[in-house]
A = this chain, B = another copy of it.
Amino acid sequence: MSAAPATGPADTALRARAQKVIPNGMYGHQSVGMLPAAAPQFFAEAKGAYLWDVDGKRFVDFMCGYGPNLLGYRHEEIDAAYIDQLRKIDAATGPSACMVELAEAFCGQVGHADWALFCKNGTDATTMALMTARAHQGKRKVLMAQGAYHGASTWCTPAPAGTTPEDRAHFIHYTYNDVASLEAAAAEAGDDLAGIFASPFKHDVFVDQELPDPAYAEAARRICDTKDALLIVDDIRAGFRMARDCSWQAIGVAPDLSSWGKAIANGHPLSCLLGSERARAGAEQLYVTGSFWFAAAAMAASLKTLEIIRTSDYLETTIALGDALRQGLAEVGRTHNVGIRQTGPSQMPLIMFDGEEGQVDYGLGEAFCNGMLQRGVYFHPFHNMFISAAMTQGDIQYTVETADAVLSDLRG
């Protein structure tokens, strides 16, 4: 038996070359180091809901680029908007009119937003949120949920390597959805509370997702009001997948700041921080910038994306597709007498398996995803997935049938 990965020869050859010129052969969230052996590392083509790896194998892609693919890969109108703008001006000595148009569009789209700062990475947006909260009243303490992901810079990367304890000197952790825990953290901050970070729902890796308890969201809002701190909803991963507004619109809680990225230009590189009037003075004190933050092409693509978000039924489509997947997989689980844990919003599903005594069976999850990948469905064993509006009910049906076949093999 060979120890080579169960992907094709082109993928295997590229991995060997990558080992020489890229640390660990790949890094960050797109390294397949922790994924099932059938997950290819390198891809050659993307279109709509599908990916093709470098060996020509097709996948129905439930990762959607880890979020950016909301309306389908290589969306014709959005890519045309990008290319049309590129043929006028992109990164230059100053921004273009579309930066103002896009800021106006976001303020029209997102209820709490009165201004926008555009940037490139999700981490840029969360870093500016952190800085704005601290600049707001010159206070230091920031609360965030234990285990939540808010980026990968020195202050937020999940791994300690290369960071110092001082990078997080003024952070206090609470338990998501736990009002008492949040209140205790706020009490610990005393009169030095600058802000509270909240994911729109709990979407940590390796654990079941949790929708937000309105009491928790309302407590966060109340604490920020009482202590003149800023409430930050980190909507980078979930933005425009829960609502055509900030994800907490559904529970009626408006943050002061929200961070956005991933899908806002349907895959073109753009992120932003949105803020309320109350947060503007803090933001105006910052010196924040980036070489490509003012580039016009990704902004033109985002303007087109927002237009489609406003005028199409993409949201209802992804929810219907997600519901059909959830229902189909639940039936498959019953058929095979396997406990499938499906958590979070159906359009951002996390799918894991029951183990003994309430635990997650990660081994079964890996074997299941391996089987799905081998049959052309890109499933992830421990990270939430994403439904694209380019998927069809046929894709969902194929996925459910494939899950049935994989579980038949595994349990047969």
Quick check: A45 and B271 within 8 Å, CB to CB? no
Contact of A43 among B96, B134, B162 (CB under 8 A): B96
Q: Tell me which residues across on chain B come within 8 A of A10, comparing CB atoms.
A: 97
Which of A74, A86, A123 counts the most B-chain CB atoms under 10 A from its CB? A123
Asked if A291 and B271 make an inter-chain contact with CB atoms under 8 angstroms apart, the answer reads: yes
- A158 / chain B contacts, CB cutoff of 8 Å: 287
Mask of A127-146 contacts with B, CB within 8 angstroms, 1/0? 10011111100001000000
A117 near B22 (CB under 8 angstroms)? yes
Is the Cβ of B23 less than 8 Å from the Cβ of A100? no
Instruction: Assess A89 versus B44: contact at CB under 8 Å? Given A164-B170, A271-B291, A280-B23.
Output: yes
Q: Are B117 and A23 in contact (CB-based, < 8 A)?
A: yes
A67 is an interface residue with CB less than 8 A from chain B: yes
Rounded to whole angstroms, the CA-CA distance of A162 and B119 in the bound complex is 17
Which residues of chain B have C-beta atoms less than 8 A from A174's C-beta? Answer: none
- Copy count, this protein chain: 2
- Shortest CB-to-CB span from A331 to chain B, Å, is 27
Chain A interface residue count: which class? 35 or more
* Those of A88-114 within 8 Å (CB) of chain B: 88-97, 99-100, 103-104, 106-107, 114
- On chain B, the residues within 8 Å of A21 by CB distance are 100, 103-104, 106-107, 114-116
Q: Are B291 and A261 in contact (CB under 8 A)?
A: yes
The answer to whether A159 touches B45, judged by C-beta atoms less than 8 angstroms apart, is no
Q: Is A51 an interface residue (CB 8 A)?
A: yes
A66–B119 Cα distance when bound, in Å, is: 16
- Other 14 A-B pairs with CB < 8 A, given A53-B94, A269-B292: A18-B99, A21-B103, A23-B283, A23-B286, A28-B294, A43-B89, A61-B93, A64-B93, A83-B83, A93-B378, A120-B121, A120-B290, A157-B286, A159-B286
CA of A14 to CA of B127, assembled, Å: 27
Judge if A267 is at the interface, Cβ distance under 8 Å. Answer: yes
The answer on a CB contact under 8 Å between B63 and A93 is yes
B104, B271, B285: the one contacting A161 at CB < 8 Å is B285
A166 — which chain B residues lie within 8 A by C-beta?
A: 166-167, 169-170
Q: Which of B28, B95, B267, B282 contacts A293 (CB 8 A)?
A: B28
Please state if A157 and B100 are interface contacts (CB–CB under 8 Å).
no
Given contacts A28-B293, A121-B124, A132-B162, A45 and B288 within 8 Å (CB-CB)? no
